[in-house]
């Protein structure tokens, strides 16, 4: 089963984007600011009006009977979500069951428990959101998405506010979810994370797909240098790559002049 | 405290206050000697409809307050924000023009028409996208338009007598109401409450923001219509029978929230009962306060009570405390 776009365009923000994300894999969407990463993710979450092209779920164009059915399939974590009321972690996670409000109470309770333990939140279940650290909060918000038990996890910069250790821990949990057969699609701005943890990387620039494939071929030194306009070099072995960046190259300055 | 315990406790409070409110007033009724001072007449035609109205309107204000705060994700939101109350007030003011004395039905009907007009305008302007920010701005616009038209109507009022009548009416009160008003307020409030109750899960989802709520299966347009219908029916009929009564919708959800798990849907029922309790007690106090000329207007009393409350909220907010 795959989640794919065919010649998808959204105004000027996305142009003719065709990509494919597979279940059981982590797909990373990368690109400089304003490349259209979040727009592409919300298209995959079926939350965005498109100009042309279509989103495919499996063999067929994505179409759901109701917003509720869509919510059961696609779990979406927006960028830097704020929580309006100071609810406890347990209550926050239980919001993920709203698309299943018709399901038996026992089933819902079990899903909430599973999500809480998958994110190691047992100790924090009664703590109000306002008293969580950044990392705990990110885990709680992720548990909310997991509680829905969707086929697909779509997260917009889930690591944005996390330090190194918490970020790595969250990536391990995404890997677990992928191994359980879910499709995981992440917008990532940290290229090293994408390089080391994703199975497939889509690089966007100015609304167009520049590269699409395994990280070693999609995030080559040339592509990173050209798209992010810096002289970049990968160090280390596959799986443990680090990005070394030098000052802007004369080539990139030339590129910018041409654009102007 | 669990949801059920809280609701039962509040209901118990209401069950105690309602009989007391029937006894209190300019003429105190002695429950042991009920036939003195035309007691049964006073009870049946003055106190009982007044108590029923206070409970209905208070519950409506508490409920819409909780719904509005959840919908706008803002603890300072109030059911008055969307211009429905000014719309209803405009309708009422226009009815004074045609001669209030002509038919006692005229004022509430005009007020309900005004409220429907405001609701319609709101739905037309906001429509389509279903975004909350646009909706709030549309509400402010409707509100200021209705306010301006109301001022125009008052300034052009046919006689100084009508003007006094309008101004007094706008201050909001439950004095001298009858069963007729009850029959207007109760069905409208029940219908509105049904609409809001149907939106409870969507309001819960909005805790996580608009984008996440949509991804959880909330249809923003349906939710918006539910909120317009719910708040419009409750506030419109409330203003139609009692004028403008502020601050209950703002205060009550705040008082109740710490006693719940803070999920918006957990707040709806307790806010309604607590609102009923607050308005009933406030109305009784207005009634028994010894004032030289008549009684203290309920709307004024609640505004006097509400302003310091609002200040406390602002100070809390400035300290960055959470809700």
Rounded average pLDDT over B227-234: 90
Q: What is the overall mean pLDDT for chain B?
A: 84
Rg (CA), chain A: 19
pLDDT of residue B288: 83
For residue A49, report the phi and psi dihedrals to the nearest 5 degrees. Answer: -75, 130
| Helix intervals (H) in A55-153 | 67-73, 89-94, 105-118, 134-147
B128, B217, B265: which to substitute to probe chain A, counting the most A Cβ within 10 Å?
B217
> Chain B within 8 Å of A53 (Cβ-Cβ)?
no
pLDDT of residue A193: 92
What's the ipTM?
0.86
Chain A nearest-CA residue for B322 = A86
Regions of chain A short of the pLDDT cut 70: 247-260
Split at pLDDT 50, 70, 90, the class of B287 is confident
CB contact under 8 A, A101 and B201: yes
- In percent, the amount of chain B with pLDDT more than 70 equals 92
Minimum mean pLDDT range among B57-61, B157-161, B281-285: B157-161
Question: Given a cut of 70, is residue B99 above it in pLDDT?
Answer: no
The more confident residue out of B140 and B168 is B140
> Chain A within 8 Å of B316 (Cβ-Cβ)?
no
Minimum mean pLDDT range among A92-101, A119-128, B139-148, B173-182: B173-182
Question: Given a cut of 90, is residue B135 above it in pLDDT?
Answer: no
> Chain B within 8 Å of A103 (Cβ-Cβ)?
no
Minimum mean pLDDT range among B47-56, B72-81, B275-284: B72-81
Sign for the pseudo-dihedral over CA of B182, B187, B190, B196: negative
Vertex B44: Cα angle to B39 and B49 (nearest 5): 130
pLDDT of residue A223: 93
A45, A46, A85, A144: which to substitute to probe chain B, counting the most B Cβ within 10 Å?
A85
Burial class (CB in 10 A: 0-12, 13-18, 19+), A14: buried
pLDDT of residue A250: 54
Q: Kindly list the residues from chain A whose CB atom is less than 8 angstroms away from the CB atom of residue B214.
A: 47, 67
Rounded average pLDDT over B89-96: 84
- The pLDDT tens digits of the residues spanning B60-83 come to 999 999 999 999 888 878 877 778
Question: Given a cut of 90, is residue B245 above it in pLDDT?
Answer: no
- The pLDDT tens digits of the residues spanning B256-279 come to 998 999 999 999 999 999 999 999
Rounded average pLDDT over B159-188: 82
Contact between residue B256 and residue B270 where contact means Cβ atoms under 8 Å apart: yes
Minimum mean pLDDT range among A96-100, B36-40, B303-307: B36-40
Sign for the pseudo-dihedral over CA of A184, A188, A193, A195: positive
Contacts of residue A74, Cβ cutoff 8 Å, sequence gap at least 6: A44, A45, A46, A150, A151, A152, A154, B215
> Chain B within 8 Å of A67 (Cβ-Cβ)?
yes
Indicate whether this model's pTM tops 0.80. Answer: yes
The CA distances from residue B161 to B128, B149, B168, in Å, are 45, 20, 11
């Amino acid at each position: 089963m795959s989640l794919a776009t065919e010649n998808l365009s959204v105004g000027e923000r996305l142009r003719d984007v065709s990509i494919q994300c597979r279940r059981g894999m982590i797909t990373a969407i990368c690109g400089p600011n304003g490349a259209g990463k979040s727009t592409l993710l919300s298209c995959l979450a079926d939350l965005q009006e498109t100009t042309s092209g279509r989103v495919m779920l499996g063999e067929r164009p994505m179409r759901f009977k109701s917003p509720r059915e869509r919510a059961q399939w696609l779990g979406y974590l927006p960028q830097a979500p704020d929580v309006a009321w100071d609810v406890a972690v347990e209550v926050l996670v239980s919001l993920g069951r709203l698309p299943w409000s018709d399901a038996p109470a026992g089933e819902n309770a079990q899903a909430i428990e599973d999500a809480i333990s998958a994110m190691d939140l047992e100790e924090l279940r009664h703590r109000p959101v306002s008293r969580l650290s950044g990392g705990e909060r990110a885990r709680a918000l992720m548990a909310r998405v997991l509680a829905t038990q969707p086929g697909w996890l779509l997260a917009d910069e889930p690591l944005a506010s996390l330090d190194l250790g918490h970020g790595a821990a969250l990536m391990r949990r995404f890997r677990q979810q992928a191994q359980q057969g879910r499709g995981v699609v992440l917008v990532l701005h940290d290229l090293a994370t994408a390089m080391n943890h994703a199975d497939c990387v889509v690089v966007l620039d100015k609304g167009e797909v520049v590269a699409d494939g395994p990280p070693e071929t999609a995030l080559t030194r040339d592509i990173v240098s050209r798209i992010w306009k810096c002289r970049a070099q990968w160090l280390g072995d596959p799986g443990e790559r680090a990005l070394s960046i030098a000052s802007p190259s004369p080539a990139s300055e030339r590129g910018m002049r041409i654009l102007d | 405290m669990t949801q059920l315990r809280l609701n039962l406790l509040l209901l118990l409070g209401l069950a105690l206050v309602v009989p007391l409110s029937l006894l209190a007033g300019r003429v105190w009724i002695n429950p042991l000697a009920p036939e003195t001072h035309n007691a049964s007449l006073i009870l049946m035609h003055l106190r009982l409809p007044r108590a029923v109205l206070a409970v209905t309107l208070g519950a409506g204000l508490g409920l819409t307050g909780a719904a509005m705060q959840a919908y706008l994700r803002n603890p300072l939101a109030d059911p008055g924000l969307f211009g429905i109350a000014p719309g209803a007030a405009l309708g009422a003011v226009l009815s004074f023009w045609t001669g209030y004395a002509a038919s006692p039905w005229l004022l509430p009907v005009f007020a309900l028409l005004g409220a429907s007009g405001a609701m319609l305008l709101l739905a037309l302007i906001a429509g389509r996208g279903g975004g909350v920010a646009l909706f709030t701005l549309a509400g402010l616009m409707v509100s200021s338009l209705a306010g301006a038209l109301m001022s125009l109507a008052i300034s052009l009022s046919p006689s100084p007598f009508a003007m006094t009548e309008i101004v007094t009416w706008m201050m909001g009160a439950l004095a001298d109401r009858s069963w007729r008003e009850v029959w207007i307020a109760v069905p409208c409030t029940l219908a509105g409450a049904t609409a809001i109750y149907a939106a409870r899960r969507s309001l819960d989802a909005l805790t996580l923001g608009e984008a996440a709520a949509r991804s959880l299966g909330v249809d923003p347009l349906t939710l918006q219509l539910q909120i317009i219908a719910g708040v419009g029916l409750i506030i419109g009929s409330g203003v139609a029978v009692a004028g403008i009564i502020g601050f209950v919708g703002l205060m009550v959800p705040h008082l109740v929230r710490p006693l719940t798990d803070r999920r918006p849907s957990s707040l709806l029922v307790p806010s309604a009962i607590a609102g009923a309790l607050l308005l009933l007690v406030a109305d009784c106090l207005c009634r028994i306060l010894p004032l030289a000329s008549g009684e203290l207007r309920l709307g004024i009393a609640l505004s006097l009570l509400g302003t310091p409350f609002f200040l406390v909220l602002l100070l809390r907010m400035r300290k960055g405390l959470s809700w």
